[in-house]
Structure 1
Amino acid sequence: MVLKKLFFLPLFIFSLIATHAIAQVQTISTDSIIRRTIYNKTVNNPPAFEFTAYNKLIITADPDLIEGNIDSVFVTKRSRKIFSRIDSSDCVFKKIISKQHLYVTEKISKFRHSGQILKETILATRMAGFKEPIFEYFSLQLQPFSLYDDTYSLVEKEYPSPISQKGYRQYNYTYAGTVWLENRLVHKITFAPKKKTKTGKLEGILYLDSEKLSIAKAELKVNGLLRIKSNHDFKFDPILKNWFPSQASLLIKKGNSTTPIKIFGETITFEGTNPKLNPEGKKFASDFIEIQSDSKYYEPRFNSYFKLKHPDIAIEINETAIAKKENLWYTYFNDSTDVRSNPTYVSLDSLVEKRKIENKIRIGRKVIKGYYPIGFFDVDLRYLLRYNNYEGFRLGLGGITNDKLSKIFKMEGYYAYGTKDGIFKGYISNALRLNNHTETWLGVSYRDDVAEIANANFEIDKRSFKIYDPRPFNISTFYNHVTWRGFVETKIIPKTESIWQITQSNIIPKFNYQFEHQGQLYTDFRATIVTASLQWNPFSQYMQTPNGKIEIDKKFPKFTFQFSKTLPALWKNSFDFGKVDVRFDYQKKFNSNHKLSFLFEGGYAFGDIPITHVYNHSPNNLTKDKILQRITFAGKDSFETMYFNEFFSNKYAFLELEHQFPKWIISQKIKPVFSLATKYGIGALDNASQHKSIAFKTLEKGYMESGFELNQIYKGLGFVAFYRYGPNHMPHFEDNIALKLSVKIDLGFNN
């Protein structure tokens, strides 16, 4: 018996060695296939092509999965269950979903790819319930067309592509045999992330042509907070002599999450499954809801090199796209098996019209930007009430005309009164649109108002609407200016916004100040300044709609440039000076919900320039002895520990680094956001002796502060703490500390 076992031992060892060798060969073969596929990407991805695409997205549920019971709801009082009410919501939901979908939208597009640019022109579209579609929907990054990019964007999140260098390092690949597709031999390879995470990562199956090593089919999925399936089907094209996409499908369902998950710009919510909050395991409607997106690609053409019109626009919607309806939809693209789509359109069209939802959306869009429409006039909510230490309460009324009056002419203005200084201020502007596509406006304006001294502002910056803007609360040094302005606003340069203007101002400082120039002391002066201000977003994506251009994918870095110069010989200009200002803004969001932000600003003012037009480094701290006396509200991109009017510079640099952590979910209502931030500034002031009757310091040695922010603790309120250190720290420890409240109720769009 022992001899028999010894006889079979060599055979057993040989079997193990052979099995290991075969596995090793297979591993090497799989590795080789993936590496060659990555290497051949540029060859297999055609450089120039065009095709027509039809996409249909529905939000629906399977009625067979819903029980539809009428339940009795009980509440517990004094350890006894007492009947409360009848709950028939499941029954009603089942009846509705048996007849129609919850929502449906369709579009027909023309895609053109030239070089590195893929442009979509929407030829026809319709959304259930809306005469004019919600254009922002078309910007949602749900599923990409190409699988050859280094990243794979799925439901507004990016994953490393399995056929990229980064993906090669992050995924495990397994050979699963061969199959035949369209009479061609295809390798079947599965991939999965090497490291598992709770949030879910991309995995799936790749079908790679054995000869071309191009993608013939792909089945991808993510199982995390959402359950997502993304399939791509290809067809072997005899002209291209390679595989080209023929259709794609996307399915989104609720995943594993204890808290609600919001997608589509937070318009759809999947309820969380939290045993503590739902001990009975009751099913919500979102447990059955699924989002389906199906795309089909027709009439591909290859190697027809063409010049794209407006290549800086990723998505363009023709003005006639909204008008194209029945005939185009149902002759070529209609799916006869979907009997619930037509009732969905009929039902939602009448519902939206009855509840005036389109009008509410129109008003909502205006309010987000700080306006409330009344007829042909949009009231500017930013002028209603403000406060600062000089004017006291500033009461005002203003606004701008809208498209109901004219699409080529607009009038803007406001009138305000300060309760403390007792002076009325005003502004009036008229502008004429010269070009619709480039959004070029030519205008002239007049302003009689006050402004903060030494504020390094960019003319191109939009004033975002905030329910409460805290920083002006503490400002007390202003100057009055009466300014005539001629300007051109335009987006004619691709991926930019710019303002070109000439202003003539009479300036009177409203504080004790004198400026010495050529032996003469000035308490007021005149300035005629020409300015060019430009914001450049080279990596962002834009959509052109009948209503204007929209930045649909805000990518970083972003660059801002501004140049201004006085014209000494024009309109009795008092001084000769100029300014050059730059800004570099970079933000990086990670799939782990961490966010890294870096901001650089710099400026150089040259010539004989008064203190009203130099730089103050955005201070935001009161000159008080005690920490508690200095508690005010935190600003944005400001030095929280720097006292007002403490430093002035004619040349400066400012850097800010911030790391924002994911929301800390304490309860359904308390979800604070924790951030760590460091700020550094350096500057200098030439000819400081010219500035009389005002005490200040300069920043040749630099300025540093670091701290943390705990924002949105409850209903937008938060807490901020910063510490001042380095060469300009204060002798007493407590004078270096700034404690602030933060208000993050911001309804505007910050670039």
Structure 2
Amino acid sequence: MYKYLVLFLFVFCTTLVHTQSLIETPYEPEQDSLKKSEFLKQLGNGFFPTRYFNFDLRYLIKFNQYEGIRTGIGIETNDAFSEKYRINSYVVYGFRDHRFKYSIGGGFRLSEKTNTWLNLSYTDDLQETGSTKFLTDKRFFQFFEPRLLNIDLFHKHITKAVNLEHELSLKLLTSTEFALSKIDPTYAYGFNIEGNTFENFDLATTRIAFQWSPFDEVEGLEKDMKDGYPKFTFQYTKSFKDVMSGDFNFSKIDFRTIHKFGDENNMFSEITLVSGIAYGNTPLTHLYHAYPNNITKETILQRFSVAGLNSFETMFFNEFFSDKFTTIQLKHFLKPFNISQRYKPQMVLITRYAIGDIENPERHQNISFESLKKGYTESGFEINKLLFGFGLSFTYRYGAYHLPEFSDNIAFKFTFNVSL
């Protein structure tokens, strides 16, 4: 606790000094404006920049049902430190599980032309069971990640990884990783394979991912990319048994596409399709959920929380797991209400659908769940940016998984949208 107080004071004081320098440094107005603009851009990406390294703000403060308050700091070197080498690390502490988690990593550039990097990392942390991460995903930062508040199903992992990033072109990115992981669920779980029950296990995995953005446009002399749609992401994962002590053979294929059409400053629509299949001896930790965001409480008000960006708001946590699934989300953003120059709330119409199935559910012991083979549907709306970035969300669950109690099908929540 004392160490974190000292660290917080250090970050806070550094922030004050750096911000004050932005205000008081006697630059010409244009130079000063560019400097402040770059600072705000870095801040919007979740970094507080200093001369040779940037503080990673993603780790400052979080909350979930297992760790309680999770706080820490991350550091990443920048181009002023080196354009050929980089170091990135973080350390966090959970006040409910009383445990430090951390990651130490770094990389070096093999080719400037193709932006090819070889990276090494050692991570001792938690991951949400049933979640999937794409290697090629760009860094994503939110001031507030609402879905994290209610997650309680995590597994510990100690992972050593070697990763190769490579740009086949400005519109086609690739990433390949080989990793060794020790997995230890934080909940009572047993994975039964031919009479042998694994409560924790080792994995040796290879992942290869591609992100294709054929409609992105190159802008400016620095070749910044302007997002174009649709975008496509593909990832293949292979786990090897008896390779570096790996316990299971399984494979996973994951796919995602996002399409937007219309004017983002006026009225537009967004469609997101995510699909995955796992085959072989796949433990629950590496199966799929559909990103549920509803807590198991009796009344609507007790379930009142904050809606996620792409989660199923009426689906209860740990209600469904699948080894094959597809979700489709459709959002239609209406033209913002032009109440004043600064106050422009916006309504969004939303429909979500998920379908999936699972083979051999009896292998997963000490945990109960359903499959999605009947198809899950919810629809609703959001009214965003009503006050200080907060809005309201209403969603209704219907179709094959409609619940007998009417109120159990309703999710009424806050929304939160802030950007720099």
TM-score of the aligned structures, taking structure 1 as reference length: 0.51
Mapping 1:34-53, distance limit 5 Å: none
Mapping 1:418-437, distance limit 5 Å: 418-437=94-113
Mapping 1:499-518, distance limit 5 Å: 499-518=175-194
CA deviation map 1:165-194 (0-9, x unaligned): xxxxxxxxxxxxxxxxxxxxxxxxxxxxxx
CA deviation map 1:433-456 (0-9, x unaligned): 112232111111000000100012
Of 564-573 and 588-597, the range deviating more from structure 2: 588-597
Tell me which residue corresponds to 1:593: 266
Q: Which runs of 5+ in 2 are unaligned?
A: 1-25
Letter in 2 for 1:551: M
Tell me which residue corresponds to 2:4: none
Asked if the contact 2:65/2:149 (under 8 Å) is kept, the reply is yes
CA RMSD in angstroms, aligned pairs only: 1.7
TM-score of the aligned structures, taking structure 2 as reference length: 0.91
Mapping 1:711-730, distance limit 5 Å: 711-730=384-403
Quickly say closer, same or farther: Cα 1:691–1:563, change in 2 above 3 A.
same
How far apart are the structure 2 equivalents of 1:746 and 1:726?
A: 35
User: Is 2:357 the counterpart of 1:702?
Assistant: no
How far apart are the structure 2 equivalents of 1:707 and 1:591?
A: 20
User: Is 2:244 the counterpart of 1:571?
Assistant: yes
How far apart are the structure 1 equivalents of 2:383 and 2:325?
A: 29
User: Is 2:416 the counterpart of 1:740?
Assistant: no
SS of residue paired to 2:43? helix
Letter in 1 for 2:53: F
SS of residue paired to 1:632? coil
Which of 143, 146, 171 is residue 495 of structure 1 equivalent to? 171
SS of residue paired to 2:302? helix
Tell me which residue corresponds to 2:352: 679
Quickly say closer, same or farther: Cα 1:440–1:394, change in 2 above 3 A.
same
CA deviation map 1:331-365 (0-9, x unaligned): xxxxxxxxxxxxxxxxx984445xx4443233223
Tell me which residue corresponds to 1:440: 116
Asked if the contact 1:663/1:671 (under 8 Å) is kept, the reply is yes
How far apart are the structure 2 equivalents of 1:583 and 1:536?
A: 11
Tell me which residue corresponds to 2:155: 479
Mapping 1:23-422, distance limit 5 Å: 350-352=28-30, 356-422=32-98
Tell me which residue corresponds to 2:325: 652
Number of corresponding residues = 395
Shift of 1:671: 1.4
Tell me which residue corresponds to 1:661: 334
SS of residue paired to 2:145? coil
Asked if the contact 2:89/2:105 (under 8 Å) is kept, the reply is yes
Asked if the contact 1:430/1:444 (under 8 Å) is kept, the reply is yes
Tell me which residue corresponds to 1:550: 224
Which of 620, 628, 644 is residue 293 of structure 2 equivalent to? 620
Letter in 1 for 2:107: A
How far apart are the structure 2 equivalents of 1:492 and 1:744?
A: 34
SS of residue paired to 1:367? helix
Shift of 1:544: 7.2
Asked if the contact 1:426/1:447 (under 8 Å) is kept, the reply is yes
Tell me which residue corresponds to 2:306: 633
How far apart are the structure 1 equivalents of 2:338 and 2:207?
A: 47
Shift of 1:708: 0.5
Asked if the contact 1:483/1:506 (under 8 Å) is kept, the reply is yes
Shift of 1:636: 1.6
User: Is 2:326 the counterpart of 1:670?
Assistant: no
Asked if the contact 1:718/1:741 (under 8 Å) is kept, the reply is yes
Percent identical residues: 37
How far apart are the structure 2 equivalents of 1:684 and 1:404?
A: 50
- Larger RCO, structure (CA 8 Å, separation 6 or more): 2
Shift of 1:499: 1.2
Asked if the contact 2:240/2:247 (under 8 Å) is kept, the reply is no
Which of 597, 603, 610 is residue 283 of structure 2 equivalent to? 610
Letter in 2 for 1:665: N
Shift of 1:498: 2.0
Shift of 1:543: 4.0
Higher radius of gyration, 1 or 2: 1
How far apart are the structure 1 equivalents of 2:129 and 2:176?
A: 22
SS of residue paired to 1:572? coil
Tell me which residue corresponds to 2:196: 520
How far apart are the structure 1 equivalents of 2:265 and 2:218?
A: 26
Shift of 1:591: 8.8
How far apart are the structure 1 equivalents of 2:311 and 2:255?
A: 17
Shift of 1:733: 0.5
SS of residue paired to 2:252? strand
Asked if the contact 2:172/2:212 (under 8 Å) is kept, the reply is yes
Q: Which runs of 5+ in 1 are unaligned?
A: 1-347
Tell me which residue corresponds to 1:16: none
SS of residue paired to 2:282? coil
Tell me which residue corresponds to 2:364: 691
Asked if the contact 1:440/1:492 (under 8 Å) is kept, the reply is no
Of 505-514 and 588-597, the range deviating more from structure 2: 588-597
Tell me which residue corresponds to 2:5: none
How far apart are the structure 2 equivalents of 1:541 and 1:565?
A: 33
Letter in 2 for 1:695: S
Tell me which residue corresponds to 1:540: 216
How far apart are the structure 2 equivalents of 1:435 and 1:642?
A: 46
SS of residue paired to 1:739? strand
Asked if the contact 1:671/1:714 (under 8 Å) is kept, the reply is no
CA deviation map 1:566-600 (0-9, x unaligned): 12231011010010001111100149921011111
How far apart are the structure 2 equivalents of 1:591 and 1:641?
A: 27
How far apart are the structure 2 equivalents of 1:409 and 1:545?
A: 24
How far apart are the structure 2 equivalents of 1:649 and 1:407?
A: 43
How far apart are the structure 2 equivalents of 1:642 and 1:515?
A: 25
Letter in 1 for 2:414: L
CA deviation map 1:352-395 (0-9, x unaligned): 45xx4443233223112110112201000111111111001111
